[in-house]
Structure 1
Amino acid sequence: MCSHLQVATTHWKGFMLSLKHGEPYADPTSKALGNVHDKSRLRTLDMFPKTEIKAKLMHYTKYFFVGDPFNRLISAFQNKFGQPKELIYAKYGKHILQHYNNESNLPQTAVEAFESGKRVSFNNFIQFLLDPKTMQPFDPHWRQIQQLCHPCQIQYDFIGFQETLDEDAEQLLSILKLTKDFKFPHAYKNMTSSDSVLQWFSQVPLKDRRKLFMLYEKDFKLFGYRRPDELLDG
């Protein structure tokens, strides 16, 4: 499984933990499953021996979900910088505010920064992504999907899309023969409207929107998303 549609990923992790625990399957949203984001709960492919990795890639059902690249960035920004998160503030927030908003003497905590009005703007976030000094690969929440899920190297059995999340999730559960055991909640379908996307990117200069498109162009092309002419043509 490879998915970074913010809250949708939370549900899929709960789904995987429920399968791991076995029948009778627990509700993927159940608190009894514990913290689904605890990295020790689910092993990633690179944690296995090479022979086991090859076996899993050959015999396991492999799937991932993808969303419009620019929509993903808005979602990632809202999720990580739209509210005070101490780990994000320490790892990214302070750096972004210092280097792209000329802030100095920053508060020690995210809560104090929010209360004082020192918040990362969407444009600050985009400047951070476009800076050649920013280390790649990016954080998984805003990393290019083709770098995150490697669709050119792994033969996936199923690719789902945020825009048709309800239908695709149901189809995947059908492929896995789990439709009687699980139901993907409709509430997790989270999309940003075209007008809202325009509003978000209105604070980003045209030249930077074009640079950003080049940064994520492979995702647009690989997964059939149209070029957002309304954002890129001045």
Structure 2
Amino acid sequence: MSKSRSFQFCGIMVCVFVILLIIFYWDDVGTAHFYLRTAFMRIQATHLPAMKNQNHDHSNSKKTAGERITSSEATIIQDDLELTYLENIKGEESSPKMKQAFNEISQPKLEEKVKSFELGINSGKTSSEMQQIQDERKQKIEDACTDSSIMFSGKNRNFEDIPNGELDHLIVDDRHGIIYCYVPKVACTNWKRIMILLSQSLLKQGIPYHDPLEIPRNFVHRSTSHSTFSHFWKRYGKFSKQLMKIRLKKYTKFLFVRDPFVRLISAFRSKFAVQNDDFYRQFAKQMLQLYANYSNLPQTVNEAFSAGIKPTFINFIQYLLDPQTEKEMPFNEHWRQVYRLCHPCQINYDFIGKLESLDEDASYLLKLLKVEKLVQFPSSSRNQTLASWEHDWFAKIPVAWRRKLYEIYKPDFVIFGYPEPTHLLLD
């Protein structure tokens, strides 16, 4: 009889152990849920300031200075909102108070001030003129995404269907409620610097950076320097997409774009016209072998350039037009289409900037974000690729190739309001 009871006791203890194991170590989701539940218990003892009722629409209203919350409170509130959403998904009861907080909270602001970095960037347009420009740009995107005659890959899929790996260009600043989709060759280095400075995701000897230009370039492009949506899966597992949608609804989202053909010229200049060992090994050697009939190529870009061996712009265009290129791997981010990087038909961006009007767009955006006293966008005109060079760069590209290239990048032209380059497409 005693043995039977011992077996029963052991069985109960094993069950309890398994249950505890599931609760605390259930993969990434279990870890995230335990983390959020801890935050939830912590917030119960925190006296949060009363929040006013706000009606949130696409304009993403901001808190005033008097309504700002501290960084620690912002973190707790954010974690608790995520818990509330997770519990709703799982069918559990959630606190009415926290539901109200979830509906009311907009964009967390900080009391802490970052040293201003004044560069004197001014816009020649009024705020109403700048807003009208933004309305027109957003309308262009909406028209392209709803026009059934304009088709491109991924246009009609839902946000939930976008693979996590395709969301790694969305950088999140939870401190200020900002999401930036970075596009290589569109001033993304300096915008990444701005995001690092605002989010304080990178420190120098334990102190946040005050000047964006002080942030080393090699640090700027490290994935660990930013919080991106593609990282959510590691922390939240199957709930990651829903938590992404919360931020997309509440945060201010922006991107900067550029004339697609000029962006291609810029990509070629920075990756193949100058010595870049990584791009030489991964792309240039293939271009030279396939389209320039080279064999036994030097192993390093320094050796190749010393021997006068480098891919031409024609080789680069051949590479882009070759159907085999994308069968082997997707376009590199430096020449991948913007609609594939930033998903404008699935993400309702609040601000669309253009490199062609970078200074005034950047100045206006920072004011909209209410961070113009914290930082201003660094002026950058070094070695800039100009649109006026387009004709010369494409002069040796056959017209038939230009037309095929235009079809590949046509969605970016249409979505972001760039006119068809008829001067390059006509005989």
Identical-residue share of aligned pairs (%): 47
Q: How does 1:85-164 map to 2 (within 5 A)?
A: 85-135=276-326, 137-164=330-357
Does 2:250 correspond to 1:59? yes
Distance 1:32 1:97, change over 3 A: closer
Unmatched tracts of structure 1, length 5 or more: none
Does the aligned pair in 1 maintain the 2:288–2:310 contact within 8 Å?
yes
Does the aligned pair in 2 maintain the 1:96–1:128 contact within 8 Å?
yes
Unmatched tracts of structure 2, length 5 or more: 1-179, 202-206, 233-239
Secondary structure of 1:73 counterpart: helix
Does 2:185 correspond to 1:6? yes
Between the aligned partners of 1:156 and 1:62, the Cα distance in structure 2 is 5
Per-residue deviation at 1:29? 1.3
Task: Provide the TM-score with structure 1 as the length reference.
Answer: 0.93
Between the aligned partners of 1:21 and 1:220, the Cα distance in structure 2 is 35
Between the aligned partners of 1:166 and 1:191, the Cα distance in structure 2 is 16
Bigger shift: residues 182-191 or 145-154: 182-191
Between the aligned partners of 2:403 and 2:347, the Cα distance in structure 1 is 30
Which of 368, 375, 387 is equivalent to 1:193? 387
Per-residue deviation at 1:84? 1.1
Between the aligned partners of 1:109 and 1:164, the Cα distance in structure 2 is 38
Question: In the alignment, residue 27 of structure 1 is paired with which amino acid?
Answer: D
Q: Which residue of 2 aligns with 1:28?
A: 212
Per-residue deviation at 1:191? 4.4
Between the aligned partners of 1:65 and 1:138, the Cα distance in structure 2 is 19
Q: Which residue of 2 aligns with 1:228?
A: 421
Between the aligned partners of 1:198 and 1:32, the Cα distance in structure 2 is 35
Q: How does 1:72-83 map to 2 (within 5 A)?
A: 72-83=263-274
Does the aligned pair in 1 maintain the 2:291–2:318 contact within 8 Å?
yes
Q: Which residue of 2 aligns with 1:17?
A: 196
Between the aligned partners of 2:404 and 2:280, the Cα distance in structure 1 is 25
Does the aligned pair in 2 maintain the 1:46–1:53 contact within 8 Å?
no
**Alpha-carbon displacement from aligned partner over 1:22-52 (angstroms, at most 9, x marks no partner):** 8975211114797111112113212212232
**Alpha-carbon displacement from aligned partner over 1:156-200 (angstroms, at most 9, x marks no partner):** 110001111111111110111111121212324834132x11110
Question: In the alignment, residue 196 of structure 2 is paired with which amino acid?
Answer: L
Between the aligned partners of 2:208 and 2:261, the Cα distance in structure 1 is 39
Distance 1:34 1:147, change over 3 A: closer
Does 2:234 correspond to 1:41? no
Does the aligned pair in 2 maintain the 1:201–1:231 contact within 8 Å?
yes
Question: In the alignment, residue 364 of structure 2 is paired with which amino acid?
Answer: Q
Does the aligned pair in 2 maintain the 1:62–1:158 contact within 8 Å?
yes
Does the aligned pair in 2 maintain the 1:4–1:65 contact within 8 Å?
yes
Cα RMSD of the aligned pairs, angstroms, is 1.9
Question: In the alignment, residue 183 of structure 2 is paired with which amino acid?
Answer: H
Per-residue deviation at 1:56? 1.3
Between the aligned partners of 1:2 and 1:17, the Cα distance in structure 2 is 14
Bigger shift: residues 156-165 or 184-193: 184-193
Question: In the alignment, residue 39 of structure 1 is paired with which amino acid?
Answer: S
**Alpha-carbon displacement from aligned partner over 1:58-90 (angstroms, at most 9, x marks no partner):** 111111000000000001111111211111111
Per-residue deviation at 1:7? 6.6
Between the aligned partners of 2:348 and 2:387, the Cα distance in structure 1 is 32
Aligned residue pair count: 233
Please identify runs of 4+ aligned residues in structure 1 that moved more than 4 A.
22-25
Q: Which residue of 2 aligns with 1:179?
A: 372
